[in-house]
Every structure is written in structure tokens, then in C-alpha cells.
Structure 1
Amino acid sequence: MAQSLAELRILSVDIGGSNIKATVLNNKGELQVEYQKTPTPSPADPDSLINALKGLIRNFPEFDRVSVGFPGYVRNGVVMTAPNLGTQLWAKTDLVKKLEKALGKPTRVVNDADMQGLGVVDGKGFEIVITLGTGFGTAVLLNGQLLPHLELAHHPVTKNSTYDDYIGEKALEKEGAEKWNKRMKKVLDYLKTVFNYDTLYIGGGNSNKLNFTLDSNIKIVSNKDGIKGGVRLWTNDDKL
């Protein structure tokens, strides 16, 4: 028998290159346990990562569904690439199947920026979400619905650099905040020209390093807001 939407409790997980973050949400996106995190293991192979997640949620309240944002290209729950965790460790891994076996609950897995996008957008018009963390994540939505995922991070932005190379964590550390911000201004100009979006949302741990004035239709969002996208992975679907 289908479960009542009002009764749903969803374990919402954000897997990052540095940390795994999780909470349990009700159907309204309200936290049922404090947002918590643990370091991403190294090497971050599937079994080590799932064990770290199980340790993180050991004392969490009961949940009915699992939503996971993963830093790579995910198709139908299967990981195709994982550039910041190690594609060689993850390629063709059916993460949905592994998590359902480990946690015993129905699970959905999408790209981490896609899940953040579901959590932060207003659902009005053409909206873009980018995440500035270990790498560069993107999500594209139209009227609150996810459009096919684009791995824009791997598109060349200069003759010798992809977006990941140009504005990722390593670039920030190597070039320093001043030069990184100059690069970010260029990237935001490119995105404005290419997408002509209604609203752009910027999340990820390095979003607070931006030191210049943003356009009025650009908003900074938090990881805590983004993790609420785990609810919409289920509540946007009537097949519960």
C-alpha cells in the first residue's frame, strides 16, 4: 500500500570530495535531526564510503526513503564518472542497488548539484545552480523540473583548462583568492551569455569566497538548503 506523503521521513545525503553530509527530513523539508557531516574516506571507494555513511547516521531517527547527491555523472542510479572521488573506483557502480542493500530502504541517487538545485530553486522560469567546492557542479531546471544533467565542469573554458581546472578547489589554493575571483567573474559572464537564465544560484563551500557584487538575479545558497532537495526527489513523484 502506498505510504502517505505526510508520513514520509527521508534520509538526505550530500556526498562531497571532502565531507559526507546528512540529515533526516520530513515531507516539508524540515530537519528531524541536526545536519551532520563526516570526512569523505580516502581512498573513497564505494564500500568505504558506504561504511562512512553508515557510521554517520548510526544514531539518526528512523527514515523511509533515501536521497543521495553524488559528485559525478549518474544515470538511473548508476555512477558513470566520479572525477573528485576517482572514476576508476566508481565507473558503472550501481550505487542505488548498493545503498538499498546497505540501508534497507528505497533509494534515489542524482548528481549532487542536481539535488541541491531541487532544494534551492523557486521553481519559476529557467534556473541554473552552480556549486563551488572540490570541483564545479551545475544543474539546470525549468519551472522546478530538472533538465538532463550536463557535466559542464569538464568543458574547456580556456585552451588548456576545464571549469574544474580553472575554478575548482585546487585552482583556488594555487592561484589565491584574488585571481580566483577574477576567474569567477569571467565564468559568471560566460554563463549569463550562454544560458540567459532567469536566476542563478551559487552554492558549495567556496561560494563564501566571492568578493565582488553579484547581479540582482544571482543568489548565494547554503548546503543546508541544498540538502532539502532530497525531499523533492520523492515528493515531485506521485509513485511513492
Structure 2
Amino acid sequence: MMAAETQVNQLQTLAVDIGGSGVKVMVLDQQGNPLSERDRLDTPTPATPEAILLTLDQLIADKTFDRISVGFPGVVRFGVVETAANLDPSWIGFNLAAALAERFGKPVRAANDADIQGLGVVNGHGVELVVTLGTGFGSALFVNGRLVPNLELAHHAFRKNETYEQQLGRATLDRIGKKRWSRRLLKAIDSLSQLFNYDRLYLGGGNAKKLEVELPSNVQIVPNVAGLLGGISLWRD
């Protein structure tokens, strides 16, 4: 029994975060601690499944691991991609988990990237909402630590006949600048607070650090690396 427990504790997980602008990887130990640097390559254009897989080939060439967790910017159900607003439409219906398992010969678990980021940051008490601010607008909801999977707020109406993603995605940030974008995010926070009555809101993603406003006391900016560190939670049954 001791030998078996030791072997399990030595399992290494390759955490993969597929994003609209970058593909990131990191190897984690059984407890979710980093065993490697966070390596990143730009997301290829067009961002087809094969192009992303080739990018992963480069990122993991020097890495040793026993299993894979992967976060994807869209709805993922039983390993199959159902939405991919910020990547190539050829992702729709693509079995991401099966493709990675076949390519790398390791067991794979896949989920929405905001769900995984949330798994890396929530404290497990009350209603917790996670919003990722990157190329698009990701979201995840937790109730007493239990994930409500595949919550997609990005394409719901927010203001001026536009969605959250249209108003707060990277393209808009680049167009209107950090100051206006930050004020607009405060309006989104107020809207989401009234909708979910959350106890805590976590803001992640690469653009969260660009905020130039004071946030409410129950809103917290979390590091983007949580999108990788949360990957270990997919293996905690």
C-alpha cells in the first residue's frame, strides 16, 4: 500500500491553458505546486486545432508528465469543444481531450479555462464568481466550492446593445484605452453583483492587471497563472 501511495503522490500533471492570444503550459506536482517554469507561445493564426497541437508539441518537447489538464476558452462538455468564439470555428465539435490523449499517450481532462482558473482561486464559501479578462470575457460560478460548469456570460447583453465581450474584450480595451475600459468594467461589476449576489468576485486573465480604478471590497484581482495552477483540481475526484 505504501509503495502504491508513493507512486500516486509522484504523478506529474501537465497543465495547459489555451487562450486567444497565447498558449501556456506548466508541470505541476500532486499538490498543484509548479515543477517547471510557465512557458508560453503566441496562439497561431489561424488558430485551428492542428495549429494549436503543433504549438503544444513545441512547448512540451522538454517536459516529463503523467497526465494532462487543459483549459479551453469556450464550452467544453465531456472533452468536446462546443463553442470557440475567439479561435477558429473548426474547433466546434472537436474532441480536445481525445486528440491530446492520442497525440501524447497520456490521460487527459479538459474544461473551460475560466472554470479552471476558478478552481485555482476560490475559497469554497458561499457564492463566488470568476471573470477572466483576456482576448474575450470568461466566467465561472461556484457555490460553496462546487462548480456550476460552462457558465457563459460573454455573449449576453450588457449595455448599448452589445455583449460583455464586445464591451470588455481586448479589442475594445485597445480601442478605448485603459481608463474608459476600467470605468466600463465597474459598470459590469455592478450589473453582475445584482445578478448573482455573489460573496466574492475574482478578476483574472491577462488584462486584469490593466485596471485603473478602485474595486469594491469583495472584488479581488488574481494572478493569471491560476489558469494553470487550477488544472490539478480536474484530477481531484
Q: Tell me, yes or no, whether TM beats 0.5.
A: yes
1:16 aligns with 2:19: yes
User: Which residue of 1 is the match for residue 65 of structure 2?
Assistant: 63
Aligned partner of 1:104 in structure 2 is 105
**Deviating more after overlay: 152-161 vs 41-50:** 152-161
- Answer yes or no: is 1:77 the counterpart of 2:79: yes
CA distance in 1, matches of 2:146, 2:16: 20
Q: Contact conserved, 1:137 with 1:153, CA < 8 A, in 2?
A: yes
Cα distance, 1:159 vs structure 2: 4.2
Query: Per the alignment, in what secondary structure is the counterpart of residue 216 of structure 2?
Result: coil
> Contact 2:120/2:231 (CA < 8 Å) preserved in 1?
yes
What CA distance in whole angstroms lies between the structure 1 residues aligned with 2:184 and 2:160? 14
SS in 1 for 2:151: coil
What is the TM-score when the length of structure 2 is the normalising length?
A: 0.95
Identify unmatched segments of 5+ residues in structure 1: none
Residue 199 (structure 1) aligned with residue 229 (structure 2): no
SS in 1 for 2:32: coil
- Map of 2:119 onto structure 1: 118
Are 1:135 and 2:136 an aligned pair? yes
Identity between Structure 1 and Structure 2 (%): 49
> 1:89-110: CA deviations, max 9, x gaps?
1110011111101111110111
Matches within 5 A, 1:1-240: 5-60=8-63, 62-86=64-88, 88-235=89-236, 237=237
TM-score, normalization by structure 1: 0.94
Aligned partner of 1:121: which letter? Answer: V
The alpha-carbon deviation at position 209 of structure 1 amounts to: 1.2
Amino acid at match of 2:83: T
Separation (CA, whole Å) in 2 of partners of 1:80 and 1:225: 23
Query: Which structure 2 residue ranges, 5 or more long, are not aligned?
Result: none
Answer whether contact 2:186 2:215 (CA < 8 A) is retained. no
3-state SS in 1 of match to 2:85:
coil
Instruction: Give me the whole-angstrom Cα distance separating, in 2, the residues matched to 1:161 and 1:8.
Output: 45
Q: Is the 8 A contact 2:128 2:142 kept in 1?
A: yes
Cα RMSD after superposing both structures? 1.5
Q: Which deviates more, 5-14 or 45-54?
A: 5-14
1:82 is paired with a residue whose SS is coil
SS in 1 for 2:157: coil
Q: CA deviation at 1:158?
A: 2.1
| Partner SS for 1:21 | strand
How far does residue 120 in structure 1 lie from its aligned partner after superposition? 1.0
CA contact (8 A) 1:95 1:109 kept: yes
Q: Secondary structure at the match of 2:162?
A: coil
